Amino acid sequence: MKILVTGGTGFIGSHTVVELQAVGHEVIIVDNLSNSSADIVDKIELISGIKPELEIFNLSDKELTADFFKRNKDIDGIIHFAAFKAVGESVQEPLLYYRNNLESLVNILQGMKDSGIQNIVFSSSCTVYGQPDELPVSEDAPIKIAESPYGNTKQISEEIIKDTVKATDILAIALRYFNPIGAHDSAIIGELPLGIPNNLMPFITQTAIGIRECLSVFGDTYPTPDGTAIRDYIHVVDLAKAHVIAVDRMIQGNMANEFEVFNLGTGNGYSVLEVINSFEKVTGLKLNYKIVDRREGDITQVWANPDYSNNVLGWKAERGIDEMTLSAWKWEQVLANK
Ligand code: WQD
């Protein structure tokens, strides 16, 4: 089948393209390269043997997006990753985030409606739950007031999709990611943070490789066993595979409802110190870190209840924390030898 992957040169997008090709789907990528580079398609070809088609333009541009859909009415499904996703930046630049993330989605949905394309998988986030009242967190947990404009664009996007599904023949699956980390086993693709990494895993590997002096652990006075915050880290390859299962579910007509939501997590929570311990264990390195104040906006702990994804979507995370931290390290070493 022909699958459009928006943001397909990005971290999760590129890993998903590889998994789509592995099961025989034809992939076309639309990306504006604002947080990635065009040579990712060559890296994908190195892994899969197939270079995906790439069109470079802003999906927030109404005319360009409408033109794309006029030329590509034969798309069987869309996986929509393209969005700005830096929490801190979204606080500084809310209008940039609302315009880019929401206008892109509206233009894509309009294009689907006009071209008769029915299936869309949406890249959502556990950030919609805020600090859940109950753990593990299930898909029916209450949506909390967003802590950032980034998180708010994910919540609003889900609402836009829900309303559009009701009013059209469009079917949608929202996948709420927990914390994606790691890299493809080949170490040919991985996370490419531009500038100083916001996220824990790339900061750990950049500290270990010597790009960063020292990792700052944002607080060790949380009400958790070791005082540091807990997250449900999930291997990016496990996450990518979930997208293939979701788009195939739609194409094969196996959905139970016209709009479905699934949590993509392992169900295991790891603290910052536990991630550091895993990294030190698998690499044999001693990581240079210090405890500093909490980061504004961080929640204490969150991990998924994966039962609904396991039993209904038919997907289960297979890779453990050590495989995640080791794959992230192997990728950082490849980047250092470029
Ligand atoms: C993880 C833990 C930090 C960096 C974010 C987004 C979320 C999703 C995943 C897109 C926290 C601690 C981090 C550092 C640290 N993104 N930390 N030192 O904040 O859980 O989630 O990424 O969908 O929407 O909010 O991920 O990797 O930034 O932080 O101590 O230098 O590591 O405090 O406890 P987060 P993260």
Identify the sign of the CA torsion 308, 311, 315, 318: positive
Helix, strand, coil percentages, rounded to 5, for the chain: 40, 20, 40
Identify the sign of the CA torsion 134, 135, 136, 137: positive
User: How many CB atoms within 10 Å of residue 310?
Assistant: 14
Side-chain-side CA neighbours of 316 within 13 Å: the count stands at 5
Two structure tokens written together for 214: 């020292």
User: How many CB atoms within 10 Å of residue 273?
Assistant: 18
Distance CA 17, CA 15 (A): 6
* CB of residue 327 inside a 6 A radius of ligand 1: no
Stretch (H or E) spanning 172? strand 171-177
3-state SS track over 209-277: HCCCCCEEEECCCCCCCCCCCEECEEEHHHHHHHHHHHHHHHHCCCCCCCEEEEEECCCCCEEHHHHHH
Please say whether the beta carbons of 81 and 240 come within 8 A: no
Which residue's CA is the closest to the ligand 1 atom numbered 24?
127
What 8-state DSSP symbol labels residue 129?
A: G
Mean pLDDT of 202-209: 98
* CB of residue 289 inside a 6 A radius of ligand 1: no
Q: What tens digit of pLDDT does each residue of 86-99 get?
A: 888 999 999 999 99
87 Cα: distance to centroid of ligand 1 (angstroms): 9
Q: Regarding beta strands 179-181 and 26-31, do their DSSP bridges make them parallel or antiparallel, or are they unpaired?
A: unpaired
The pLDDT of residue 123: 98
Side-chain-side CA neighbours of 10 within 13 Å: the count stands at 23
User: How many CB atoms within 10 Å of residue 223?
Assistant: 7
Two structure tokens written together for 4: 């459009």
Mean pLDDT for the chain? 97
Q: What tens digit of pLDDT does each residue of 110-135 get?
A: 999 999 999 999 999 999 999 999 99
Distance CA 229, CA 271 (A): 5
For the CA of 148, the nearest atom of ligand 1: 25
* CB of residue 175 inside a 6 A radius of ligand 1: no
For the CA of 297, the nearest atom of ligand 1: 19
For the CA of 179, the nearest atom of ligand 1: 9
150 is catalytic: yes
Please say whether the beta carbons of 243 and 121 come within 8 A: yes
The answer to whether residue 296 scores a pLDDT higher than 90 is no
Which residue's CA is the closest to the ligand 1 atom numbered 18?
217
* CB of residue 171 inside a 6 A radius of ligand 1: no
User: How many CB atoms within 10 Å of residue 299?
Assistant: 17
The counts of H helices and E strands in the chain are 12, 13
> Could you tell me the domains of the chain?
2-181+234-264 (3.40.50.720)
The pLDDT of residue 194: 85
Hey, is 9 helix, strand or coil? coil
The pLDDT of residue 322: 98
Distance CA 70, CA 175 (A): 27
Looking at the chain, the whole-number percentage of residues with pLDDT higher than 90 is 96
Please say whether the beta carbons of 27 and 17 come within 8 A: yes
* CB of residue 154 inside a 6 A radius of ligand 1: no
* CB of residue 127 inside a 6 A radius of ligand 1: yes
The pLDDT of residue 21: 98
Please say whether the beta carbons of 129 and 144 come within 8 A: yes
Please say whether the beta carbons of 11 and 234 come within 8 A: no
Mean pLDDT of 202-224: 98
Q: What tens digit of pLDDT does each residue of 42-101 get?
A: 999 999 999 999 999 999 999 999 999 999 999 999 999 999 998 889 999 999 999 999
Looking at the chain, the whole-number percentage of residues with pLDDT higher than 70 is 100
Mean pLDDT of 143-168: 96
Which residue's CA is the closest to the ligand 1 atom numbered 23?
125
23 Cα: distance to centroid of ligand 1 (angstroms): 32
Mean pLDDT of 191-209: 94
User: How many CB atoms within 10 Å of residue 331?
Assistant: 25
